[in-house]
Amino acid sequence: MNLSSPLTPMRVLIVDDSVFMRAALTRMISSDDSLCIVGTAETGLEALAKIAALQPDVVTLDIDMPGLDGLETLKRIMSESPLPVIVVSALARCGAEDALQALALGAFDCIAKQLSYDHADVLKVQDELIAKIKAAAAHSPQRTRLSSRPDCPCLGHSPADAATVPATVPAIAPKIVAIGTSTGGPKALQDVLSALPADLPAAIVVVQHMPVGFIGPFAKRLNDLCPLKVREAQENELLRTGHVYLAPAGTHLIVQRQSSSDVFLRLSLLPANLPHIPSVDVLMSSVAEVFGSSSIGIILTGMGDDGALGMKAIFDAGGVTIGQDQATSVVYGMPRACAEIGVLNQVAPLPDIPRQILAALHHRTRAAAAP
């Protein structure tokens, strides 16, 4: 059987010390016929043994476990048998710092769990979990390996990158860079922001899809690692060059001009009916409206299509739009959506994106200064 066939069930191992959570995750994952739970584990050592024996495509991993905890288990997985790991853990118990550390160690993504949900919350978490498992399975070495694996004892029931399009260069220096990302974004943002200088002649605004409680610690971590000043955005904050502002989880971030020289950040719960709050589309649309051709839009790795409309707004306004290429994206969803509607001036591998930003800023600054 071709293991990469879409008819082959995606094999999932659940690791959690809570009987209740193992049962809850089993029910959620088993609701999708394309997913197969090959086993569960209560401890880190048990998880390592079952990974070797069952060869899952994806592992869901709790962090707060007795003995070999989730972080140490993750280190062992990435060292001994690398495969996609989705952290599913209660923030109140493990803390956002531990979850961010898991991402730094190579976890594919993280989901915040609670001990009880109403029906709507259960469905939301279930949909998010299933979508992330499917995205992770696409990157699993097990699904492309041609060796045989054990039968699945279920316990419960790309187009090519867009070509580079020469950008029209308006004679106004960009004053803002808007970045949108999701799955794989924490590492991608660290790589991009750490390569930019402290005296960057533009402000940077960012939407990174993350659970509530993550953005503050994540911004602090980036601030410690990057020359730029990085912080979680606050209401009515003045936009300043050389600063990076991350949208808080659960709140849209927009920019709003109050005078010819002053632009402020605004936080809003509206629109409330979008799949992602904060929304990349909402942020970038406001950037296009306020800064027009003086804006740069960057779309990085992530699931779904949030950002496609916002990047189109910047593109239509004459700004520069850059998308991460497929080869360096953890999930080529958000950049693909932009490439497919033809709103990318450039497609670049992640290591080249800082240079692309600096080149755009330098080119347009020179154009603005020319007689």
Q: Which amino acid is at 343?
A: V
d(CA 293, CA 312): 12
Number of Cβ atoms within 10 Å of the Cβ of 305: 17
Number of Cβ atoms within 10 Å of the Cβ of 261: 6
82 burial (CB, 10 Å; 0-12 / 13-18 / 19+) is exposed
Q: DSSP H helical segments within 115-248, as ranges?
A: 119-137, 141-144, 185-193, 215-225
d(CA 98, CA 89): 10
196: Cβ–Cβ under 8 A, 6 or more apart, which residues? 204, 226, 227, 228, 354, 357, 358
Backbone angles phi, psi at 194, to 5 degrees: -70, -15
Strand ranges in the chain using DSSP code E only, listed in sequence order: 10-15, 35-41, 58-61, 85-89, 109-112, 176-181, 203-208, 229-232, 243-246, 252-257, 263-268, 295-299, 320-324, 346-348
Active site residues: 182, 209, 306
Provide the pairing of β-strand 252-257 with 295-299.
unpaired
DSSP assigned state of 355: H
Backbone angles phi, psi at 114, to 5 degrees: -130, 165
CA 175 to chain centre: 25
